[in-house]
Amino acid sequence: MIATRTDLAMEAFENTEGGALPGVRLSHWETDGIRVTEVLVTDNEAARQLGKPKGSYLTLECPLLKERDPDARLALAALLAEEIDRILPQDDGSAPVLVVGLGNRAITPDSRGPGVVDRTLVTRHMLSGPHAQNNMKSVCAIAPGVLGITGIESMELVEALVKALKPRAILCVDSLAARDSRRIGSTIQLTDTGIQPGAGVGNHRKPLTRESVGTPVISVGMPTVIYAATLAKDAFAWLNAQTGDDEPHEAALEDMEKTLLSGEIGEMIVTPREIDAIVQDAAGIIASGINRALQPALSEAEIAAMMN
């Protein structure tokens, strides 16, 4: 079968034959109602087969987010903060963390990154002078926009900022594409492998990775879209199952998938009608997690007050 497009490493692993792949370690656990899956890609051949660089991919799934459950949102933000803090390089006391919000403000499913930057506590400018806040860590942020609007690659801007700021780490936030529509708005992926802007919608740009910018790059993303071809294929399989026909139809499914992916529908992406609320809620959750991880000396109440 043709590989279905997804930015989630756990979904790419689920699509492998037999549910196992040498060079990949899979772990599951649950905490506070959040299902956590870690996919650890350890060799180049496994990375090639999955279509994901070597590294750690942590997926946090919380279905209650779709119900806008306040306790679930707090729990997810707290867990995200813990995991970001775990993989951040050690603070040397001076170098800032640079938060990069990728995406297009004018397109709702792609506006997650800029929305998170708007709610990130930026402090680099507050750490010098007579009123310096000694309990805060240095953080700066940018939403570079998209090439079609600015005429500048996100990578070019980040490279320039790295030279000027020499950050200890870059934290990228972007929107992703999922294989399973149930994961839209309810799943966060955290990885230490960096990110390729635009990958979720097939618009590949230069990657933001440790190798490309010389600084550790951590990425946080949540699915906001799914490919129409994926939905069509799933609908076909569901209808087939409802008929009670036990005959194998793998060949028919593969032919249909090839036709869909080779036509215009193969490049069409779909998003839920409630995407405005999904993006707004997710921006608050992710920004809260980032702020907690980057400002450990501040209380939850202080961070919430500064975000509002």
Domain boundaries, the chain: 9-225+275-307
| H/E run at residue 165 | helix 154-165
For residue 2, the model assigns a pLDDT of: 46
For residue 227, the model assigns a pLDDT of: 85
Per the prediction, the chain carries an average pLDDT of: 86
For residue 205, the model assigns a pLDDT of: 64
Give the separation between CA 97 and CA 141, rounded to whole angstroms. 8
| H/E run at residue 29 | strand 24-31
- The answer, yes or no, to whether residue 252 has pLDDT greater than 90, is no
- With cut-offs at 50, 70 and 90, classify the pLDDT of residue 248: low
pLDDT digit string, tens, across residues 98-131 = 999 999 999 999 999 999 999 999 999 888 765 5
- The answer, yes or no, to whether residue 30 has pLDDT greater than 60, is yes
Give the separation between CA 36 and CA 108, rounded to whole angstroms. 27
Question: For 71-85, b where at least 16 C-beta lie within 10 A, e where not — what string?
Answer: ebbebbbbbbbebbe
For residue 87, the model assigns a pLDDT of: 95
Give the separation between CA 270 and CA 109, rounded to whole angstroms. 10
Radius of gyration of the chain (CA): 20
User: Checking phi first, is residue 102 left (phi over 0); if not, alpha (psi -120 to 50) or beta?
Assistant: beta
Token look-up 């951040």 returns 88
Closest CA to 226 of 263, 184, 265, 281: 184
pTM of the predicted protein model: 0.88
Q: Helix (H, G, I), strand (E, B), or coil: what is residue 72?
A: helix
pLDDT digit string, tens, across residues 171-185 = 999 999 999 989 999
Residue 8: count of CB within 10 angstroms of its CB: 27
DSSP 182-233: GGTTTEEEEESS-B-TTGGGT-----B-HHHHSS-EEEEEEEEEEEHHHHHH
For residue 228, the model assigns a pLDDT of: 80
Q: Which residue has the higher pLDDT, 15 or 160?
A: 160
Q: What is the mean predicted confidence (pLDDT) over 225-242?
A: 75
For residue 303, the model assigns a pLDDT of: 92
CA 57-224-141 angle, 5° bins: 70
pLDDT digit string, tens, across residues 183-226 = 999 999 999 999 866 554 455 567 889 998 999 999 999 999 99
What lies within 8 Å, CB to CB, of 239 at 6+ separation is none
Domain 9-225+275-307 has CATH 3.40.630.10: no
Contact call for residues 157 and 140 (beta carbons, < 8 A): no
Give the separation between CA 232 and CA 256, rounded to whole angstroms. 9
Structure tokens at 166: 């020499």
* HSE toward the beta carbon, residue 154, CA cutoff 13 A: 29
Give the separation between CA 100 and CA 65, rounded to whole angstroms. 24
